[in-house]
Amino acid sequence: MSEKLIIKGQNPTSGEVTISGAKNSVLKLMAASLLCKGTSVIYNVPELSDVEIMLEVISGLGAKTIYDKKLKKIEIDASDLTNCVADKEFVSKMRASFVVLGALVGRLNEAKVALPGGCKIGERRVNFHIKGLETLGCTCKIEDGYVIAKTNKLEGGYVCFDIPSVGATENVMMASVLANGVTVIQNAAQEPEIVDLANFLKSMGAKIHGAGTSEITITGVKLSDLKGTEYTTLPDRIEAGTFMSIIIASCGSGVIRNIFPNHLTLFTGKLLEMGATIKLLDPNTMYVSNNKRLKPMNFITQPYPGFPTDLQALAMSLLCCADGISVVTESLYENRFMHVPELWKMGANIIVNKKHAIIKGVEYLVGTSVNSTDLRAGAALVTAAVMARGETEIGSLNHIDRGYENFVDKLLQLGINAQRVDDDIQNEVKVGELNGSGV
């Protein structure tokens, strides 16, 4: 089914929205559950297509799963894994599923995992993952689109990444849980999702110190030391940043609940620099508003705690109507400006020069027909549509469905004039009208 989102812009927000569990965390917790001979229960699970794909991946490995969407929880019984092959059919659709590699090698001493897929925002190498596992005594090779890893027994060691890699940090961390001895990961990723994974593993019985810093130490335990656990996923900081951007774009106000503000410190600071009003109502509730033309600003995307690359496109949408010239530098992914041609269609003045984008604010954007090119680009186009005069039609909603739970419902809760429609049916209606025959 071909669907699109229709938004009528320049309608100030007024309302509140509650942030869902973090997609980039829950998927890794699901993979980590494979390490334990027992049943783990994960709460605050967002209803997303990526979650469905990860369920297919781990079910294919022999884990028994129960997904209660109403209660937003998943039960995973990994007592008897029957397979060490994560198939191309699912892994190629979503990069996050590649982290079953570390869990499988740690638990079964072997794994065959398809090379990852997902949004085509640039090259996301697996060499860091392979280098880390080889340091722990794994032999790895790439063959027929799969990474094949084997070991007699993983041994602790020192793993140092050239640059912080979230996925590689997660894979090595999971593999190290059942390795002999001590593993030290240097120049580790420091994202909140890394801390969430470490806390989940520790609740199972793993011994991990330093998560959230550049050096993580894992002391291996025995399989019998790990027990099933119950754990609640942290809120999605990227979803929170998305709705902060949408509220500001609308020149309205709104309350955002279930948010960890310290996970968005730099992003919040940049929004304040642009002229937005942001206040904490309590430790997990934020009030956001804006009633004027924004100021320009410059930023460079960096690993956490720097400016999140996942919020770069949304910030760029805001800057399209800022009062001056802004410069955005994308330092992490070479294809993360794919939303720019779509913003051009709406009247944005943006010049791209390799990893830099120069944005000269225009008086207003104009609604038109655009397409999501990836997950965060889709959210950026919604932000632009909220600012634009007239009506914007956003296609390729499958990208948005990968990362945002009940997105349209939440837009409506904020008072945004948004409607999700079946594009094929709408086209049939238009053809009927043109023929004078109706529907």
Q: Are 233 and 40 in contact (CB under 8 A)?
A: no
- How far, in Å, CA of 297 to CA of 275, rounded? 10
Position 427 pLDDT exceeds 70: no
- pLDDT, position 91: 82
Work out the average pLDDT over 261-276. Answer: 97
Angle between helices 127-135 and 100-108 (to 10 degrees): 20
- Percent of the chain's residues with pLDDT above 70: 94
Work out the average pLDDT over 130-145. Answer: 94
- How far, in Å, CA of 129 to CA of 126, rounded? 5
Q: How far is CA 180 from CA 33, 155, 194, 221, 436, in A?
A: 20, 5, 22, 7, 75
What positions carry a catalytic annotation? 119
| pLDDT confidence band for 313 (50 / 70 / 90) | very high
| pLDDT confidence band for 117 (50 / 70 / 90) | low
- How far, in Å, CA of 223 to CA of 257, rounded? 39
Work out the average pLDDT over 151-171. Answer: 96
Residue 405 DSSP one-character state: T
Place of tokens 């030290």: 184
- How far, in Å, CA of 379 to CA of 312, rounded? 11
Q: Are 415 and 409 in contact (CB under 8 A)?
A: no
**Structural domains in the chain?**
3-20+235-430 (3.65.10.10), 23-232 (3.65.10.10)
Position 122 pLDDT exceeds 60: no
Q: What is the average pLDDT score of the chain?
A: 93
pTM for the predicted model, two decimal places: 0.93
Strand pairing class (85-86; 110-114): parallel
Position 285 pLDDT exceeds 90: yes
Work out the average pLDDT over 206-226. Answer: 98
- pLDDT, position 1: 59
- Tally Cβ neighbours within 10 Å of residue 222: 9
Structure tokens belonging to residue 122: 């640039």
pLDDT in tens, 318-348: 999 999 999 999 998 777 799 999 999 999 9
Q: Are 319 and 296 in contact (CB under 8 A)?
A: yes
Work out the average pLDDT over 179-188. Answer: 98
- How far, in Å, CA of 223 to CA of 206, rounded? 10
- How far, in Å, CA of 25 to CA of 381, rounded? 24
Work out the average pLDDT over 162-178. Answer: 96
